[in-house]
Amino acid sequence: MITSFKNTSIILCLAVTALGQPALAQVTDYPIKPVAFTSVHVHDQFWEPKMKINAEVTIPYILEQCKKNGRIDNFLRAAKLKDGDQMTEFPFDDTDLYKVIEGASYAMQEQPNPKLDRYLDTLISIIGAAQEKDGYLYTFRTVNASKPHPWIGQKRWQNEEVLSHELYNSGHLFEAAVAHYQSTGKKTLLNIAIKNADLLVKDFGPGKIEEYPGHQIVEMGLVKLYRVTGKKQYLDLAKFFLDVRGPKGDAYNQANKKVTDQDEAEGHAVRAAYMYTGMADVAALTGDVKYFASIDKIWDNVVTKKLYITGGIGATGAGEAFGSDYQLPNMSAYAETCAAIGNVYWNNRMFLLHGESKYIDVLERTLYNGLLSGISLSGNRFFYPNPLASMFQHQRGAWFSCACCITNMTRFLPSVPGYVYAQNQNDLYVNLFMSNTSDIKLTGGKVNLVETTDYPWNGKIDIAVNPEKAFNFTLRVRIPGWAQEQPVPGDLYSFADKVKLPVIIYINNKPESFVTEKGYAVLKRQWKKGDHVTLQLPMETEKVIANTKVRDDVNRFAFERGPIVYCLEGPDNKDSLVQNIMINKSAVASPKYEAGLLKGVEVINVQGMSAKRQLNSDALLQTDQTVKAIPYYAWANRGPSEMTVWIPYEASSASPKPAPTIASLSKVSSSLKNVRMYGAIKDQYEPADSKDTNYPYLHWWPKNNSLEYVQYDFDKEYTLSESKVYWFDDGPWGGCRIPDSYKLFYKKDGEWVPVKNTTAYDVAKDKYNVVTFEPVKTTALKLEIQLSKDNSTGIHEWAVK
């Protein structure tokens, strides 16, 4: 593939005439070109409403939130158009404005909006006012605050390799500028971006500042700017930023090795995915085969060892990072929305390089599951992490102080139609399935396609093929891996049922035999207006089994139907509980479309059973029940609840409903104000050790060196004589450790009185800390906890007797 790619050249279609730049000669580029989203007009029941909500709800909402939360004030203060030097929390907050401008620009290409257009003009004039004369644009430095943000360093670029995000801001500026120019034809934001990019060219490079971006994306932005302007210095700088990276930095931001020496995914998942995407872009445009070899190896590592069934990447909240091989926890899964978007970008580039359907398989899985879950059905509530299990502690937010995922969704959703088709001369690729009308230009002529389908709920796809004139070309129709009993490439996941059902293709209502190449059905013929292709995919309800090396998914399966991964959620199931449910691997599941549920979804119904603990007995009570599963992307749209993707088929893997103990019947209160954590300390989950994050825990992070408390108010008066606490301690990398000390108090006549302990207050990790005391009659018990000087602490379980 690499050899044939090196010999491939196409003419870049650059908007250089309007900018007065010289046109480029023939240059190397991706052998396959995406069909622009502006040429693909989606009108189906699945994606069109989501893109409409993004345009009509999400973008206006985010613009208002940017105003309310100081994003615009950052620029006004830097431009001296507003008094004061009080900035927002993070130096990368400027990018929230860039990303929403990018999203709004994309949306206006689909649906003109003069009012929004004028508002963007106002925002762009404010951004321009904040730009320094030489092109520098970074409000946190330009404002010249009396107390500068600690991340920015004493001079320009000083902390760039670590925290400043100066180049990260530039990258998002470039992407927004290109989108705005292509949407409106206006060069106002593009000129700002070019001025900034010219400064980067002046300051960075061999013999100049030889540093790399701490957070990657400027590489992608520079490539986009190069494509629009034809200035090769931008492509050269993008390559420089990649080549100068490592090996003396940290794995956290992929700088512990030269990029061409990297062969596995490490560190911060968003930075990684953006870097791999940038590497693909630069490789395509320069033909650097060393980049190809590296990103191919990294892709294999991710897909075979580090990919969630939802397509999410980044297993751990410690550094928002990839974990080790097969480390894929569910309750504590990070799987950041931005990382899912980056995963789509990366896999799309890999397809454009290699032309293999396996990359679109991963892209589609991510798109319909781990990415789409990042935004609510209403369009104004969001997830930052996307866990695969929950016990009420996860809830969508209206805004986050770090709003990167929120604004990223606004720019991504309008671009979804751009992933449907691609072409290479007279090869036309059909990658995704959604009802649309498209006009595509091949070497041999123009082709109009009309795709009609109820996908993802139905596997029938009809494609009307209408060339402007009859000519020979090849239609390459993707046969999804899931339709061939392979959820993802490799052995990370497999279907429990190995029965392979046929994929059927009709041309003009007649069955068509076909060969497959690289995962595509190859339909080569002379096409004429009115030709019709029908693809029938065997959309069965499958049970997915994880590789046994994924410890967290042992003795569990996940439901999948077509590209959609399912989950169990409390509102649909008995007692609003799902962690206590078991389903036999041989149970027959029945799909059913429910138009009135979650804006219309296909659900799965199946017989299962639930388990419940009993007092003073190890035996579980088991009850048969009907279980309902919903698409994972739609969970948490009805308030906080229990949820799980991976369903136990063995009793040992289920979490039975707690027995009615003194603790479980009590009301929890605490010095911690996050009430969503309160139920964790009485859920009767037995942690494997103090750092176990598979189930919820209560914690006071980032507090330290303080006196905190948690208390039980009982449903009635009890006589108590024992307490046992299991501490949360995620050392050595996390911020929680066992506390310095703790004491017990009981309520007597409205006052808190210390118990008279008869055993010592033991403070140790990886076990219950049991203390006995002289019996007391009380309606409430309190733990007072002294946090250590340098660390916070947490509690897995607190039981009383």
- One DSSP character per residue, 114-148 reads HHHHHHHHHHHHHHHHHS-TTS---HHHHT--SS-
Is the model's pLDDT at 166 over the cut of 70?
A: yes
- One DSSP character per residue, 539-591 reads --EEEEEE-TT-GGGTTEEEEEETTEEEEEEGGGSGGG--TTEE--TTPPPEE
DSSP count for the chain of H helices, then E strands: 16, 31
Alpha-carbon gap, residue 220 to 725, rounded angstroms? 50
Q: Could you tell me where the DSSP H helices lie in 318-397?
A: 337-354, 357-365
Under the banding of pLDDT at 50, 70 and 90, the label for residue 696 is confident
For helices 71-78 and 114-130, angle between their N-to-C axes, nearest 10 degrees: 40
Locus of tokens 């062969």: 263
- One DSSP character per residue, 235-273 reads HHHHHHHHHT--SSS-GGGT-SS-GGG--S--SBHHHHH
pTM of the model: 0.91
Q: By the 8 A CB rule, do 126 and 73 touch?
A: no
3-state secondary structure 645-713: CCEECCHHHCCCECCCCCCCCCEEEECCCCHHHHHHHHCCCCCCCCCCCCCCCEECCCCCCCEEEEEEE
Is the model's pLDDT at 618 over the cut of 90?
A: no
Enumerate the β-bridge partners of residue 743: 784
Which pLDDT score, from 0 to 100, does residue 441 have? 97
The values of phi and psi at residue 248, to 5°, are -100, 10
Looking at the chain, how many residues does it have? 801
Alpha-carbon gap, residue 411 to 409, rounded angstroms? 5
CA atoms within 13 A on the CB side of 24: 22
Tokens matching residue 515? 């060969």
Alpha-carbon gap, residue 544 to 560, rounded angstroms? 7
- Spatial neighbors of 565 by CB under 8 A, at least 6 apart, are 309, 310, 365, 368, 369, 544, 558, 559, 631, 632, 645
Q: By the 8 A CB rule, do 678 and 748 touch?
A: no
| pLDDT, average across residues 590-602 | 97
| pLDDT, average across residues 6-10 | 31
Alpha-carbon gap, residue 582 to 600, rounded angstroms? 26
Q: By the 8 A CB rule, do 131 and 192 touch?
A: yes
How many CB atoms lie under 10 A from the CB of residue 603? 19
Residue 620 burial (10 A CB sphere; 0-12, 13-18, 19+): middle
- Spatial neighbors of 108 by CB under 8 A, at least 6 apart, are 116, 117, 183, 184
SS3 call for 468: coil
Alpha-carbon gap, residue 549 to 326, rounded angstroms? 6
How many CB atoms lie under 10 A from the CB of residue 458? 15
Alpha-carbon gap, residue 226 to 281, rounded angstroms? 11
Is the model's pLDDT at 762 over the cut of 60?
A: yes
Which pLDDT score, from 0 to 100, does residue 684 have? 87
pLDDT digits (tens, 9 = 90+) for 69-110: 999 999 999 999 999 999 999 999 999 999 999 999 999 998
pLDDT digits (tens, 9 = 90+) for 178-201: 999 999 999 999 999 999 999 999
Under the banding of pLDDT at 50, 70 and 90, the label for residue 499 is confident
3-state secondary structure 342-364: HHHHHHHHHHHHHCCHHHHHHHH
Alpha-carbon gap, residue 336 to 667, rounded angstroms? 32
Locus of tokens 């210390």: 754
Tokens matching residue 653? 């893997």
Tokens matching residue 92? 């990368």
Q: What is the DSSP letter of 22?
A: P
Tokens matching residue 164? 């400043």
SS3 call for 456: coil
- One DSSP character per residue, 178-231 reads HHHHHHH---HHHHHHHHHHHHHHHHBSTTSB----SS--HHHHHHHHHHHH--
Sign of CA dihedral 623, 625, 631, 636: negative
Alpha-carbon gap, residue 345 to 575, rounded angstroms? 41
What percentage of the chain's residues is helix, strand, coil (to nearest 5)? 30, 25, 40
CATH domain 2-419 topology: Glycosyltransferase (1.50.10)
Which pLDDT score, from 0 to 100, does residue 22 have? 38
Alpha-carbon gap, residue 255 to 162, rounded angstroms? 10
CATH domain 667-800 topology: Jelly Rolls (2.60.120)
Is the model's pLDDT at 13 over the cut of 70?
A: no
pLDDT digits (tens, 9 = 90+) for 261-270: 999 999 999 9
pLDDT digits (tens, 9 = 90+) for 702-747: 999 999 999 999 999 999 999 999 999 999 878 999 999 999 999 9
Under the banding of pLDDT at 50, 70 and 90, the label for residue 782 is very high
Which pLDDT score, from 0 to 100, does residue 546 have? 98
User: Which strands, in side-by-side order, build the sheet including 427-430?
Assistant: 33-34, 421-424, 427-430, 471-478, 520-527, 515-517
| pLDDT, average across residues 38-52 | 96
Under the banding of pLDDT at 50, 70 and 90, the label for residue 45 is very high
Which pLDDT score, from 0 to 100, does residue 27 have? 56
Alpha-carbon torsion angle 686, 690, 696, 702, nearest 10 = 160
Locus of tokens 């009570």: 621
Tell me what the pLDDT averaged over the chain comes to.
Answer: 94
Per domain, the residue ranges of the chain are 2-419, 422-478+502-536, 541-653, 667-800
Query: Which CATH architecture is the domain 422-478+502-536 placed in?
Result: Sandwich (2.60)
Tokens matching residue 433? 């399935």
Alpha-carbon gap, residue 104 to 102, rounded angstroms? 5
For helices 218-229 and 232-243, angle between their N-to-C axes, nearest 10 degrees: 160
Alpha-carbon gap, residue 568 to 581, rounded angstroms? 9
